[in-house]
Structure 1
Amino acid sequence: MNTIVATHNLSKKYNGVYRVNNVNLQVNEGEIYGFLGPNGAGKSTTLKMLLGLTKPTNGDVVILEKDFRKYRQSILRKTGSLIESPSYYGHLTGLENMRMMQRLRNVPDKNVEKALQIVRLENQKNKKVDHYSLGMKQRLGIAMAIIAFPKLLILDEPTNGLDPAGIEEIRNLIKSFPKRYGMTVLLSSHLLSEIEQMATSVGIISNGKLLFQGSMESLQAKSMSCISIKTQNNDAAEALLLNKELQPIRKRDALMFENLNNKHIAHINRMLVSSGIDVFRIEERKKSLEDIFLEITGKERSLS
């Protein structure tokens, strides 16, 4: 599998503080790579360095197997991007905005029509962009990013500020890009649910450091199930079970156990009931992606 984006110790320092610190990204061909982290974690700064919008303090960027410093123009011709928010002229129509991008990217007319069709703006192309909804403006921004049908598409918070219907629309659009149009997508988000529903691979960044990188399956595999037991008297239950060399973890109003099979669960239940402790509830719980994120980042901050 070809590597589309690779960075080596990519770093950026502002006012003596590293906002991005020795980040080693690897994005493979055909992936939707979710770049996940809280606001201010270094996501946008990293993406800007990949596009040459910000100069790294140190480190290397290789895109499409070429050194970005040496082959910047040829790389950018095969790259599309939408960083932070769409740039457009509100007094012009959607089509006129696309024509301007067409001249900048030197692409044929068919690309304009196809890109508008992909984002479903072909029937709104003659309306002034000032009259577009927020979702339509976001779709126009994506149309401008894909007008050259790039090998690599970089999207920074593409669903930011959209309502649930708009988020669903953009999500389905992005998921179609690798298979239908041969694009590799690198997108950033602070929304865990969006990354989980779109990405095939994920990188987690916090305070400028890349703390996890791998397939979505490998991240979800960290969500080992555990058994939650709620009793009439959790203090007495905990003391009893600790005395029996079991290791419950106290969490809110329940006792949590890892790696219990059905036989162990039945044994604990009998033990508690025979000791006069009523068992109110036994249930299986799985860690959410947010729980995993907080564990990886040392529970230092949430994604909001």
Structure 2
Amino acid sequence: MNKPIIVKTKNLTKMHGTVKSVNKVDLYVPEGEIYGFLGPNGAGKTTTIKMLLGLIKPSEGDIQVFGKNIRKSRSAILQNTGSLVESPSYYGHLTGLENMLVMKRLRNVPMKNVDEAFRIVRLDKQKDKKVNQYSLGMKQRLGMAMALLSFPKLLILDEPTNGLDPAGIGEMRQLIKSLPSRYGITVLLSSHLLSEIELMATSVGIINEGKLLYQGSMDDLREKRRSTIRLKTEDNIDAQQLLGSHGYRLSQEASRITFENNGDQEVARINKLLIDNDIMVTRIEEKKLSLEDIFLELTGKEKSL
């Protein structure tokens, strides 16, 4: 059974002068998913998120959240939406608790939500300290607590691990992964960090230069991670001629002969064929496409994230 779509856009476009920073993007974020919005810095992720929250107006296209049009029902949508975009907003001269109490009044939520949000982000022992004395990571976690304060149906996070040390990144990752099952929260998570998206997301959208290049489940994306076998022999030229004469499609990569991995039995047959013809095999390696490899294939560019 198909899940309800929480966020849906059609032909979403944002112009800056003559440049389309977001170009006809059709997003589909299913309920209960962690949707990883992946792309390099400047790809259009933050601009898209700001349009979803009604912070900036699209040049073209439509946005629906919870089945409602953002132009007509922004207030009702935001009541059920939490967000952490770019850097968290706070009053530095106030304590973490005082900041949360300001948000509590704005959100009209019970005090137990404040206590639970502090506990979730592990700031409960630092809540009486002034935010100006917080580290960058603590400020990021306070922003996360504010976003969670009403325990919304939809949580939109823009680079939420910024400023966190490795332990903090791990904690944030576990927290985000628990939100759909524990609290029924759908998460839209943007990042340029491939490893974080791969570890957290259940579905993914890849954007570059304002265009959505791929959208689907993380499992479907992983299926694109085909593997190749790389061989090194004592005589690669003779090895290539021999294997080519037996119908194998090969390519050369530095000092390795490469071919598509068709299973262990096929690799064993190739190894035996070479040895039977007195060509010694000195190394056999499997290379699997990473998520970054797939990204580079999709964009057609050698562009680092």
User: Alpha-carbon deviations, 1:159-217, whole Å to 9, x = none?
Assistant: 12322111111111111111111110001000011001111111011111111111111
- In structure 2, the residue matched to 1:293 is 295
The equivalences for 1:273-292 within 5 A come to 273-292=275-294
Partner of 1:51: 53
The corresponding residue for 1:41 is 43
Q: What secondary structure, in the 3-state scheme, does the structure 1 residue paired with 2:20 have?
A: strand
Q: Over aligned residues, Cα RMSD in angstroms?
A: 1.5
SS at match of 1:71: helix
Secondary structure of 2:270 counterpart: helix
Report the counterpart of residue 145 of structure 1 in structure 2: 147
How many percent of aligned residue pairs carry the same amino acid? 64
Give the letter aligned to residue 23 of structure 1: V
Shift of 1:250: 2.0
Give matches, 1:216-235, under 5 Å. Answer: 216-235=218-237
Distance 1:282 1:40, change over 3 A: same
Q: Which consecutive unaligned segments of at least 5 residues does structure 1 have?
A: none
| Structure 1 residue 90 displacement after superposition | 1.5
Q: CA deviation at 1:235?
A: 3.5
Shift of 1:76: 0.7
- Map of 1:185 onto structure 2: 187
Letter in 2 for 1:257: F
- Give the counterpart of 2:83 among 81, 84, 88: 81
TM-score w.r.t. the length of structure 2 is: 0.95
Correspondent of 2:156 among 132, 148, 154 = 154
Give distance in 1, aligned partners of 2:166 and 2:250: 39
**Greater displacement, 276-285 / 152-161:** 276-285
Q: 1:240 Cα deviation (Å)?
A: 3.3
User: What is the 5 A alignment of 1:20-39?
Assistant: 20-39=22-41
Q: Label 1:252 to 1:167 Cα distance change in 2 as closer, same or farther (>3 A).
A: farther
Distance across 2 between alignment mates of 1:236 and 1:23: 51
Give CA-to-partner distance per residue, 1:73-92, whole Å, 9 cap, x none: 10011111000111111211
Question: Contact 2:37–2:191 (CA<8 Å) still a contact in 1?
Answer: yes
**Distance in 1 (alpha carbons) for counterparts of 2:101 and 2:42:** 34
Shift of 1:135: 1.9
Per the TM alignment, residue 298 of structure 1 is displaced from its structure 2 partner at its CA by 1.5
Please say if residues 274 and 281 of structure 2, whose CA atoms lie closer than 8 Å, have aligned partners that are also in contact: yes
**Is 1:10 matched with 2:17?**
no
| Matching of residue 70 in structure 1 with residue 72 in structure 2 | yes
Runs of 4+ in 1 over 4 A off after TM superposition: none
Deviation at 1:2, TM superposition (A): 1.3
2:196 to 189, 194, 197: 194
**Which residue number corresponds to residue 253 of structure 1?**
255
CA–CA distance in structure 1, aligned partners of residues 187 and 264 of structure 2: 42
Alpha-carbon distance, 1:103 to partner: 2.0
What does the per-residue CA deviation read over 1:204-242, in whole Å, with 9 as the maximum and x for residues that have no partner? Answer: 111111111111111111112222212223334223323
CA distance in 2, matches of 1:253, 1:37: 33
Aligned to 1:116: 118
SS at 1:195 equivalent: helix
2:140/2:162 contact within 8 Å kept: no
What is the aligned residue count? Answer: 303
Letter in 2 for 1:167: I
- Using the TM superposition, name which of 182-191 and 106-115 deviates more: 106-115
SS of match in other structure, 1:69: helix
CA offset at residue 268 of structure 1? 2.0
Provide closer, same or farther for how the CA distance between residues 36 and 276 of structure 1 changes in structure 2, counting only shifts above 3 A.
same
Question: C-alpha offsets along residues 23-42 of structure 1, whole Å, 9 cap, x if unaligned?
Answer: 11100111100000111111
Aligned to 1:264: 266
In 1, Cα distance between the equivalents of 2:129 and 2:254?
A: 54
The structural deviation recorded for 1:54 is 1.3
- Name whichever of 221-230 and 181-190 sits farther off: 221-230
Q: Aligned AA for 1:260?
A: N
